């Protein structure tokens, strides 16, 4: 299946089964905004729980907060967002489509990178077991030429973006002969800067002084509370503050489902460290975060690190964890060494000291910060897209299955009486009543067992429990496994332990 078709199928599956709906759909939707349905919100909550437990509850030195979306407007002056939270935009005059100029160039680089990968694949085919990939990459003339090209483009891109040289960015697009993916034309407008923050007015009086912003990241809510948390929680450096919450960005291009939305949710953690130790902690968090992802079992080959070409104004090191989405490898999470930039800026703009007295070295200082920042909606898409499969079955039928990590599945178990009579529904309810305290269960008595299994496969329920006439005699049920489709007869008394073993978050957290 083509990757884009795959995305279309996932979008329609997500809608059909109540995971994700276009927002205000009866009014034809609102671009780049989505609503999570009855199953989507369960999946989202489970992802949040996995993140929160692993970041906050598994680390004695990390605590969580929940700060307001609205913040004093000076926050965004201090953070640099009012002046510098811009994206360079460019329009194609023929298709009238708008693009982010840096993304056009990055996509161009990705194409060259794919050429290199193809060359390496060819080498592997030719030399088989004797193939030495590292040597091949270091010596093959085609690979070297393309790698050199990438470096040149990246250097130019970094230089122009860092110097806010919009004409230079435009010239790069022209020199690379980048064409509009839609119209194929190279008829571009000039490049302009576009601020991504949404603003609104506070109270009933409008005017410059009452202008406030919807936060474009949750991080600043953590920075302004740094001392509150440190003092009230008697936190000792190094320590972290985590938060999950909504963020808003007026994205220029927003047409990749929940990958890029104008209202989205972030899970961020700021880790405060001694100055000079930040790069050690940066490596530490890169390692912890990639392990968190891989533990889910979505496939190690779906992740890669990508170091930033252009560092943000506040960072001295930054890397993205990219995931192989249906649109290809794209940013899922950022790990940034933010230096002491944010706290220092807030000190300057607020006139309040934001320092820490370190008893071990007898010094006052403004801590350095390592940030881990992951988009909850992108994580949702990563989980959904890598779990969605259609499988050919023996009897010439097909099933759509969501092989979600069991701990994240919206329902852990479906309870099914074989028929709607003979006391089977009553027995099924009794079993469900015992399980529902610990597991999200769905009761399902409609249609044939085959149809019911298909429905549960399509929403990723790890187990189906079938109650039949034998259940009434010997208190046993059949348990069907979503992935193997195997059915086992087990005692009702064993059910709780069997389900818990499979769906508990503990496996992921250990």
Instruction: Taking the CA atoms of 259, 263, 264 and 269 in sequence, report the sign of the dihedral they define.
Output: positive
Q: Which of 378, 452, 482, 502 binds ligand ATP (CB under 6 A)?
A: 378
CB under 8 Å to 297, separation ≥6 — which residues? 405
Asked if 373 interacts with ligand ATP (CB under 6 A), we say yes
Give the range of 1-9, 168-176, 199-207, 331-339 binding ligand ATP by CB under 6 A: 331-339
To the nearest whole angstrom, how small is the minimum distance from the Cβ of residue 377 to ligand ATP? 5
Q: How far apart are the first and last CA of the chain?
A: 36
The secondary structure of 18-85 as a DSSP string is TSEEETTGGGT--TT-EEE-HHHHHHHHHHHHHHHIIIIIT-TTEEEE---SB--THHHHHTTHHHH-
Q: Which of residues 446-465 bind ligand ATP (CB under 6 A)?
A: none
Q: Is residue 332 involved in binding ligand ATP (CB under 6 A)?
A: yes
Nearer to ligand ATP, 91 or 333 (CB): 333
Build a one-symbol-per-residue string for 255-294: x at contacts with ligand ATP by CB under 6 A, - elsewhere.
-----xx--x-x----------------------------
The least CB distance from residue 192 to ligand ATP, in Å, is 17
> d(Cα 478, Cα 144) in Å, to the nearest integer?
59
Positions in 334-353 near ligand ATP (CB under 6 A): 334
Shortest distance, CB of residue 369 to ligand ATP, whole angstroms?
14
Question: Is the CB of residue 419 less than 8 Å from the CB of residue 472?
Answer: no
Give the binding-site size for ligand ATP (rule: CB under 6 A): 15
Rounded least distance, CB 162 to ligand ATP, Å: 16
Minimum gap (Å) between residue 365 Cβ and ligand ATP: 26
d(C-alpha 322, C-alpha 334), whole Å: 9
**Strands, DSSP E only, in 411-475?**
413-417, 441-443, 463-467
| Cα distance between residue 68 and residue 202, in whole Å | 14
Q: Which stretch binds ligand ATP (CB under 6 A): 108-116, 144-152, 179-187, 327-335?
A: 327-335
Residue found under tokens 């195997």: 486
Q: Are strands 192-195 and 199-201 parallel, antiparallel or unpaired?
A: unpaired
Q: Could you say which of 240, 245, 375, 406 contacts ligand ATP (CB under 6 A)?
A: 375
Q: How far is the CB of 293 from ligand ATP (least distance, A)?
A: 12
Residue with tokens 């503050």: 241
- Only one of the segments 46-54, 171-179, 369-377, 409-417 lies at the binding site for ligand ATP (rule: CB under 6 A); that segment is 369-377
Instruction: Name which position in 119, 324, 342, 377 contacts ligand ATP (CB under 6 A).
Output: 377
Residues that bind ligand ATP (CB under 6 A): 249, 251, 260-261, 264, 266, 331-334, 373-375, 377-378
């Amino acid at each position: 299946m083509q990757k884009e078709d795959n995305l279309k199928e996932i979008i329609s599956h997500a809608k059909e089964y109540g995971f994700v709906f276009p927002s205000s759909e009866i009014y034809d939707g609102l671009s780049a905004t989505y609503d999570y349905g009855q199953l989507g919100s369960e999946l989202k909550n489970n992802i949040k729980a996995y993140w929160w437990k692993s970041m906050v509850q598994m680390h004695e030195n990390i605590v969580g907060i929940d700060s307001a979306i609205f913040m004093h407007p000076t926050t965004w002056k201090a953070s640099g967002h009012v002046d510098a939270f811009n994206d360079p935009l460019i329009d194609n005059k023929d298709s009238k489509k708008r693009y982010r100029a840096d993304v056009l160039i990055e996509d161009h680089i990705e194409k060259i990178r794919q050429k290199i990968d193809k060359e390496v694949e060819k080498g592997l085919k030719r030399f088989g077991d004797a193939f030495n990939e590292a040597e091949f990459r270091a010596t093959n003339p085609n690979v070297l030429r393309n790698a050199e090209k990438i470096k040149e483009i990246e250097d130019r891109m970094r230089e122009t973006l860092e110097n806010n040289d919009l004409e230079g960015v435009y010239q790069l697009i022209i020199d690379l002969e980048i064409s509009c993916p839609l119209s194929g034309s190279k008829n571009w407008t000039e490049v302009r800067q576009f601020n991504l923050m949404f603003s609104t007015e506070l109270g009933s009086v409008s005017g410059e002084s009452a202008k406030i912003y919807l936060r474009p990241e949750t991080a600043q809510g953590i920075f302004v509370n740094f001392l509150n948390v440190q003092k009230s929680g008697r936190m000792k450096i190094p320590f972290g503050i985590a938060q999950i919450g909504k963020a808003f960005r007026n994205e220029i291009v927003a047409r990749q489902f929940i990958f890029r939305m104008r209202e989205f949710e972030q899970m961020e953690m700021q880790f405060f460290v001694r100055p000079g130790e930040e790069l050690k902690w940066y490596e530490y968090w890169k390692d912890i975060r990639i392990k968190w992802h891989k533990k889910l079992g979505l496939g190690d080959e779906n992740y890669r690190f990508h170091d930033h070409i252009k560092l943000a104004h506040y960072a001295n090191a930054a890397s993205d964890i990219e995931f192989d989405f249906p649109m290809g490898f794209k940013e899922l999470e950022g790990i940034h060494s933010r230096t002491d930039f944010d706290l220092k800026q807030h000190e300057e703009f607020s006139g309040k000291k934001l320092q820490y007295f370190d008893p071990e070295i007898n010094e006052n200082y403004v801590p350095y910060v390592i940030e881990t920042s992951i988009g909850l909606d992108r994580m949702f898409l990563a989980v959904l897209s890598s779990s969605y499969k259609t499988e050919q079955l023996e009897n010439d039928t097909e099933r759509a299955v969501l092989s979600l990590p069991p701990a994240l599945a919206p329902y852990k178990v479906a309870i099914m009486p074989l028929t709607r009579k003979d006391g089977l529904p009553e027995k099924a309810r009794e079993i469900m009543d015992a399980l529902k305290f610990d597991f999200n269960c769905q009761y399902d008595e409609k249609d044939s067992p085959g149809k019911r299994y298909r429905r549960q496969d399509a929403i990723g329920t790890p187990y189906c429990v079938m109650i039949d006439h034998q259940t009434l005699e010997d208190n046993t049920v059949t348990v069907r496994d979503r992935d193997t489709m195997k059915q086992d007869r087990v005692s009702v008394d064993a059910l709780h332990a069997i389900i818990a073993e499979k769906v508990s978050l503990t496996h992921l957290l250990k």
